[in-house]
Structure 1
Amino acid sequence: MNKKNSNNKTIVSLGIILVSLGLTYAPLPGVKQNIIVVSGTELQEPLQELETKFEQNNSNIDLQLKFQGSQDIVNNYIDRKNDFTPTILIPANEQTLEELETRWQAQNNSEAFYSQPQAIARTILVAVAWQERSKFIFPDGKFSWSNLERALQQRSWSKIADKNNWGSFDLVITNPTRSNSGQLALNLWLQSKARNSKMASSSQGLSVTKNATVDSFDSESLFSLIKSSIYQLPRSTDILLQEFISRGANDGDIAMVYESIALYRWSQAKISQGQPYQIYYPNPSVETVATAAIAKNIDRNTAKAANKFIKFIKQPEQQEVFVKYGFRSIIPNLNLASVPKSPWQQNIPGAMLNPSVTLQQPPDSQKTAEIQRLWSRVR
């Protein structure tokens, strides 16, 4: 065989390989690329609106949305409990994705995501309370964990405010073994207990030997009190707030939720219950940043389409959609109050464009796991 024929055969072989690769990673004409987005329920409304817009501009991509509590997103993915293959995962914050990545690498010895997760929207943990009742819990207009704990200990409005017809005092949080907002609320409460313990000991000239850490007796006592005071634990934050609104004051007095859904659903409360609720910002509170990651166990072409969607929702026009639903944009110079239909234009009681509170990052995965274990253990 001469050298020219050998070179021709090599070129043909390379051509066949390139064509095969093209067929593997390039979409076939007329075939839609399927993307399954698994998100926390707090993002349901904005993502549904953006889904329609994205598919109109990308007719070759079929977007499917699934909604779960943030901790469920992690557990269902790691334990392979979903009856579908997720493409994009968007829990409430980056720390939840870090937990997922750590657990995935420990079990599979491989990367969990195609690329670095990307922030898409921000919000803050707040409390919502019916105005008529909250003034007895927070008489100075400021949120207080110790006042809330005292109300739980008194249990009934007859003891709290001599209101016999108001029934029991009811706090509402999400299930901390399934949802991020419940975990954040318990962590902030523990921090408050630790600060108060330290201040009391210091004022009495005592050395501080035990703060309210997750493993302390104070924590067990607090968690037991909270657990015994809650009738039902919703699995996700948006479901919690919808139930809080529909059931009214007799089934829930104060709820811990995200600012985004508290702002967005405020008008629903005003209409269905004939009264608005008040928003309170704990100080400190937690800023949680919804973060999107592309799952690794998909093909490259699907990952490429997924990245296209993430880039789409980060653009200014789409960020304004998030603002309309009460989220704070990841674009620093975007004026929240100037966005059409912005909730910051509605004079919602207690809502703050620039809250005068310290904002923390969510607790790391180790602290979150400790909170879940203690919650599951106490009675």
Structure 2
Amino acid sequence: MQSVTRAIGIGYLLICLLALLATAFVGPVGYAPFPLPIGPAQDPVVVTIWYGTEKRQWFEDAAQRFAATNPRVGNRPIQVVLRGIGSRELSVRAARREFGGDGQPTVISPASSMWVEVARTDWAALNPGAPSFITENPGQVTPLALTPLVAVIWQERAQLLWPQGPENFWQNLHAALTDSEGWIGVARARGFAPGSPEYQKASTWGFVKFGHTSPLTSNSGAQALILMAYGYHGKSRGLTNADVLSPEFQRWMRDVEMAVLEFGDSTGSFMTSMVQFGPSKYDLVLVYENLALENIVAAQNRWGDIRIYYPPATMFSDHPYAILNAPWVTPEQRQAAEQFRNFLLSPPIQEIAFRQYGFRPAIPDVPVITNDPSNPFNKYRAYGVQVDTPPLVETPSGEVVTTLLDLWRRQINR
């Protein structure tokens, strides 16, 4: 009996020894009763993503769902680290290697491809002769979701500013912002006499309080300037440096911008601020459509209904996912970044982006025209959301964008 017991013990020890040897070479192996954590730990492949904060909730949701699938590169787990930063800031900082406490990015995902090109240009200027900062492979820069720039305004203000709709969007806005009587002047311009209910309400609102983010740190702020320039010149393509440097346009832009009380750094936090503080802080703001949809209920519960208006010509943000070709990005990190990108573009996650967070899908597999009431374009139609957007303006050249931003920096952001 003792010999049998001894044989079993020796056999157990041999099995443990084999498990130890296997663990030392290939990592943890075995099942209970052999959960042996001895041997080299499998460090995670860390994918650090610098992204525009307007998609914070979707990205955080998607990252949790991705982690639940136990993603791996070879035998190493994938860890996604998210860093929310303003679109222009993240592109410029990445190209200049100004990492701060946000870590070295594996991926940048600003709100618009315009900033990917800015990053690429900055990198080339700072690193002459070095390989491209962002690989030239088209598959490495992929749109994740679409959303146009819209105006969000409190319902009562909308009825006074644009009673027939925003056909003269920029002209009406400029007139309202420069009227020395504020909302009283708007009411008078719309034909409401003193003593009328509309006039009485307007008399309590003060000046027209307009806001958008800083074009020096945020994509939506830069888009706002571009749309202003196109709107003033009455065209939708071919914006030139001469248009931007026109003294008449400069005066008109300065009128509008000097009426802005505060320029936010990030569109996501900017929209949150509007909902938190209500019409005492902002009457209307320029933000992304998805943020407007995301905050309709919260605004209603705090201050009342908001209304969504589309400028007569607008711009889409395509939220590119750009895997970097930088010296600090390893092949394993690129593989892991590709896995997360493919996950974000899968129909279930695109469906979540659309139905829960208001983004227009980047893939044709997820339709935006459906009959079900949970579709945001059905659910929020009464608030002004619409499937068909106005015509899109042409994205100006990098040179024109730079001139426009320089003009704003010189005249507004002193």
TM tier, smaller: 0.7 to 0.9
Aligned-pair CA distance for 1:48: 0.4
Corresponding residue number in structure 2 for 1:55: 67
Q: Is the CA contact 1:34–1:61 (under 8 Å) kept in the aligned structure 2?
A: yes
Corresponding position of 1:145: 170
Deviations 1:63-87 (A, max 9, x none): 1111111111112112322221001
Partners of 1:95 and 1:363 within 8 A in 2: no
Amino acid at match of 1:353: V
Contact 2:48 2:106 (8 Å CA) reproduced: yes
CA change 1:285–1:212 in 2 (3 A) is farther
Report the secondary structure of 1:189's partner residue. Answer: helix
Alignment of 1:1-379 (within 5 A): 30-59=42-71, 60-83=77-100, 84-108=103-127, 109=129, 110-114=131-135, 115-116=137-138, 117-143=141-167, 144-155=169-180, 156-161=182-187, 162=199, 163-195=202-234, 213-273=243-303, 275-297=304-326, 298-323=329-354, 324-336=356-368, 338=370, 341-348=374-381, 349-355=383-389, 357-379=390-412
Unaligned segments of structure 2, at least 5 residues: 1-25, 27-39, 72-76, 188-198
Deviations 1:268-317 (A, max 9, x none): 111111x1110001121112211011112211111111111111111111
Letter paired with 1:58: N
**SS in structure 2 at match of 1:166:** coil
Report deviation, 1:89: 0.4
1:96 and 1:365 in contact (8 A); partners too? no
Aligned alpha-carbon RMSD (Å): 2.1
Identify the structure with bigger relative contact order (alpha carbons < 8 Å, sequence gap 6+): 1
Amino acid at match of 2:247: F
Deviation, structure 1 residue 112:
0.8
**Deviation of 1:224 (Å):** 1.7
- TM-superposed CA distance for 1:216, in Å, is 1.1
Percent identical: 27
How much has 1:212 moved relative to structure 2?
A: 7.5
Contact 1:190 1:219 in 2 (8 A): yes
CA–CA distance in structure 1, aligned partners of residues 333 and 81 of structure 2: 13
**Aligned 8 A contact 2:92 2:118 in 1:** no
How far 1:217 moved relative to its partner?
Answer: 0.7
Q: Unmatched 5+ residue regions in structure 1?
A: 1-21, 23-27, 197-209
Q: Distance in 2 between matches of 1:333 and 1:303?
A: 26
In the other structure, the counterpart of 1:206 is none
Quick one: which amino acid aligns to residue 76 of structure 1?
Answer: R
DSSP-derived class of the 1:124 partner: strand
| 1:178, distance to aligned residue in structure 2 (A) | 0.8
Q: Residues of 1 paired with 2:331 and 2:284: CA distance?
A: 46
Match of 1:10 in 2: none
**Which residue matches 2:34?**
none
Aligned to 1:16: none
SS in structure 2 of the partner of residue 167 of structure 1: coil
Distance 1:325 1:337 in 2: 16
2:214 counterpart SS class: coil
Q: Radius of gyration: which is bigger? A: 2
CA distance, structure 2, for counterparts of residue 312 and residue 211 of structure 1: 41
Q: Which amino acid aligns with 2:95?
A: I
> 1:341 Cα shift?
4.4
Question: Partners of 2:373 and 2:186 in 1: how far apart?
Answer: 42
CA distance in 1, matches of 2:348, 2:377: 18
Letter of the structure 2 residue corresponding to residue 260 of structure 1: N
Alpha-carbon deviation of 1:366?
2.0
Question: CA 1:148/1:159 → structure 2, altered by over 3 Å: closer, same or farther?
Answer: same
| Aligned-partner Cα distance in 1 for 2:171–2:387 | 26
SS in structure 2 opposite 1:89?
Answer: strand
Quote the offset at 1:223 in angstroms: 2.7
Q: Shift in Å at residue 219 of structure 1?
A: 2.5
Q: 1:203 maps to which residue?
A: none
- What is the distance in 2 between the residues matched to 1:51 and 1:333? 21
What amino acid maps onto 2:232 in structure 1?
Answer: K
Cα separation, 2, equivalents of 1:363 and 1:268? 35
Distance 2:152 2:116 in 1: 27
Matched letter for residue 172 of structure 1: G
Report the count of equivalent residues. 338
